Structure 1
Amino acid sequence: MKAPSYVIRTFFVLLAAAAPAAILLCYRDSSAMAGFDWPRLVAWITCLVAMLVLFILAGLKIRGRVLGVLVDERNRYSLSRLQISLWTVLVLATVYVAYLANIVRGPADDALDIDLDYNLIALMGFSLASFVAAPMALSRKAEKPGGEQDLATNGQQLLDAQNLSTLPSATGQVLVKNNPKDARLADLIRGEDVANAMVVDLPRLQMLLITAVIVFVYGVTVGHSFGTSTWLLDHLPKLNQTLLLLALISHSGYVVGKLIPTSATSTSVLPQQTARALTASQRAASLAGDLQARLNACAPGDPLYDWLRRSLALTQVTSAEASALIGQLDAPDFNLDAISRVEGRIDALQASLSSLPTGPAARQMLDAPSEETVRKVQQRLYNVGHNEVTVNGIADAPTEQAIRAELVKQGIARTDLHPRPYRYFEELAHLIK
């Protein structure tokens, strides 16, 4: 009985790993693409589908559910598990096919020269942090006594509404289902406490919707890039800074929502202090986004680079402290000065960031194309009929106009080429003949 399941899993492992390579090897001639790189796109979709099926098979094997990998130790579908699973499948399939396509199509020295998006790496870090922090946040509620009356009322309502096999139980204030088959998709947006098990948890709903939008938008962008980009990829699609900040705020709200007590036994928490701690966490998350944007515009040689890197680390620690404060407000020995100290650090960091100069960063200077490369491009433009171009090694206005005209003639968009100027001119030197 076990042999067929092993055969199926082995088949999909091979499909995810070998099928993309086979597709790309069969179509190694760029002249057969006719303007659309469908072999690379099909290879990516094949890898993506095969990885999703492997996740489904793992869930069926371990939990007996199609979405079993999303079922946590409380026998509920976990939002943090859903998010980290989606990003793992999407990013692994994308990176694997991108590198594999370059290996099959180009020289080995350039195959791994792909510019990965640091915003995407940061977003995966947020997902991993939420996955780790979520159980830690719930453990605080599990240590507190729960409401027996809430469990009796909401447990019975949940039993009837979701047609569960057994009545749910509780660990402290945290609701626990007793059978993996009782997991329902509604768990992704319902409260996790005994007191709010029948209520839609808005931070969870917000995080679910934002995750769905970002994963879908980035997946479509990757698919379009694989189909229309240059023969050899030198970068993956960039994740917009606004989307990264939106995801960071939703992650903060998600973790903070797990820390806020909902039981009637926790009436000692002051609403105004909770609001202060939540506001401080959101301010720190917003400041971290600003610092990350400034850091991305700097190179290691920039005088501001080290200051921005240290400030970003301090801001991230401050954001985590602000989130943790909410779970500590009802402690008898809690000192309200802790909130003031966090707010003071955020104010100081914002004031320091506002006072920074806004002149050109070192990365902008390092990104400038060399005079030799510009001369090469200008000479080729002149040779193909752009007589207004002067071969002087300076990327002046006539040169830019001629480049745009030549790209239009060849049907190439500026976004298809590398965003950094020095790489952009290197590509132009190969394209303009």
Structure 2
Amino acid sequence: MLSLIAIPVVGWWGVTAHSERAAWLGIALLMTLFVAISGKSIIGRWPGILVNERNVMSLARFQMTVWTLVLVSAYLTAAFYNIYIGVDEPLAIGVPQELWLALGISTTSLVGSPLVLAQKKSQAPDPAALAATRAQLVLLAQPGGDTNQGRLLGNSQPDMAVWSDMVTGDETSNGAHVDLAKVQMLFFTIAIVAAYAFALWRTFKFAQPDGITDFPALDDSTIALLGISHAGYLMNKAVPRP
């Protein structure tokens, strides 16, 4: 709760000190702290917000969390700056259409992943494949994989979730193998979010005296790459692996 109270304090202090970038970083860090504390108090893990209902780290949750932290903290910083310099409509900050598309694509993956995997929960796993996957996890000294929901591999406890869950398969037949579609989406997410964060950094560095009225736009090719990556991610989840 203290981190939430500190957000407007840090944001206002930063813009009044003419350090919009410091304000943005401070707000982003406080939001990250709040998310971490929430995960710790509810799930028992600092990265608990990333743990899904199967008690594994979710790549879709990760990319939505990163986008939310970057964009919401930037919006708050821009709003504080506009209020400080006396803009008539401080909250009138234009969000480019391409950015809405990127967020829509990310939301689709977050919502679509459980829907795509739902049918596999009612399908019986191959006993030999399940035994081989669990044996491989033990051999690699990887915790987890001790339970399953149909053909979906999972963990019995949230503290068994590990970061490598975000790049390994979901099923009892590939839970001990790297999922290339997940790796691709992880790389695209990190690259695009990092590039957009740098664009926001420049926006705050060269903030105009008449206020921040627009966020930087994303290139159409970036949206196309992001869309292809997420489509491959969802299609890969839908493919059965007996």
Give TM-score, length-normalised by structure 1: 0.54
Distance, in Å, in 1 between the alignment partners of 2:231 and 2:68 is 20
Distance, in Å, in 1 between the alignment partners of 2:85 and 2:159 is 47
| Aligned residue number for residue 221 of structure 1 | 199
Aligned-residue Cα RMSD (Å) equals 1.5
1:81-92 to structure 2, matched below 5 A, reads 81-92=61-72
Post-superposition offset of 1:111: 2.2
| Aligned residue number for residue 212 of structure 1 | 190
| Aligned residue number for residue 120 of structure 2 | 141
Give a deviation string over 1:102-141, Cα, whole Å, max 9, x none: 011123x242343221111111111111111100111111
Contact 1:159 1:168 in 2 (8 A): no
Instruction: Count how many residue pairs are aligned between Structure 1 and Structure 2.
Output: 241
Q: Secondary structure at the match of 2:174?
A: coil
Distance, in Å, in 1 between the alignment partners of 2:54 and 2:29 is 28
Give a deviation string over 1:379-401, Cα, whole Å, max 9, x none: xxxxxxxxxxxxxxxxxxxxxxx
| Aligned residue number for residue 256 of structure 1 | 235
Letter in 2 for 1:61: S
Letter in 2 for 1:207: M
| Aligned residue number for residue 126 of structure 1 | 105
1:158 to 134, 137, 154: 137
Q: Secondary structure at the match of 2:148?
A: strand
| Aligned residue number for residue 23 of structure 1 | 14
Distance, in Å, in 1 between the alignment partners of 2:54 and 2:213 is 44
Q: Secondary structure at the match of 2:32?
A: helix
Post-superposition offset of 1:54: 0.9
Distance, in Å, in 1 between the alignment partners of 2:152 and 2:164 is 16
Distance, in Å, in 1 between the alignment partners of 2:220 and 2:193 is 15
1:58-69 to structure 2, matched below 5 A, reads 58-69=38-49
Distance, in Å, in 2 between the alignment partners of 1:113 and 1:262 is 49
Letter in 1 for 2:24: W
Give a deviation string over 1:200-242, Cα, whole Å, max 9, x none: 1111110000000011111111012101231211211111111
2:5 to 14, 24, 27: 14
| Aligned residue number for residue 187 of structure 1 | 165
Distance, in Å, in 2 between the alignment partners of 1:198 and 1:180 is 18
Letter in 1 for 2:49: V
| Aligned residue number for residue 51 of structure 1 | 31
Post-superposition offset of 1:98: 0.7
Post-superposition offset of 1:15: 1.9
Gaps of 5+ in 1: 1-9, 28-37, 264-433
Letter in 1 for 2:27: C
| Aligned residue number for residue 52 of structure 2 | 72
Kindly indicate whether residue 217 of structure 2 is the aligned counterpart of residue 238 of structure 1.
Answer: yes
Per chain length, whose mean CA-contact separation is higher, i.e. which structure has more relative contact order (CA < 8 Å, sep 6+)?
Answer: 2
Post-superposition offset of 1:176: 1.4
Letter in 1 for 2:72: L
Give a deviation string over 1:140-177, Cα, whole Å, max 9, x none: 1112121111111111221342442x651222111111
| Aligned residue number for residue 21 of structure 2 | 41
Distance, in Å, in 2 between the alignment partners of 1:127 and 1:18 is 31
Contact 1:155 1:169 in 2 (8 A): no
Q: Percent identity?
A: 27
Letter in 1 for 2:78: A
Q: Which has the larger radius of gyration?
A: 1
Letter in 2 for 1:21: W
Q: Secondary structure at the match of 1:116?
A: coil
Contact 2:145 2:153 in 1 (8 A): no
Q: Secondary structure at the match of 1:256?
A: helix
| Aligned residue number for residue 274 of structure 1 | none
Kindly indicate whether residue 141 of structure 2 is the aligned counterpart of residue 173 of structure 1.
Answer: no
Distance, in Å, in 2 between the alignment partners of 1:185 and 1:143 is 26
Distance, in Å, in 2 between the alignment partners of 1:162 and 1:71 is 20
Distance, in Å, in 2 between the alignment partners of 1:230 and 1:162 is 54
Contact 1:156 1:167 in 2 (8 A): no
Q: Secondary structure at the match of 2:19?
A: helix
| Aligned residue number for residue 117 of structure 1 | 96
Q: Secondary structure at the match of 1:49?
A: helix
Contact 2:145 2:154 in 1 (8 A): no
User: Closer, same or farther in 2 for the Cα pair 1:22/1:154, shift >3 Å?
Assistant: same
Give TM-score, length-normalised by structure 2: 0.94
Give a deviation string over 1:30-53, Cα, whole Å, max 9, x none: xxxxxxxx5111111110111111
Contact 1:146 1:173 in 2 (8 A): yes
Distance, in Å, in 1 between the alignment partners of 2:93 and 2:64 is 23
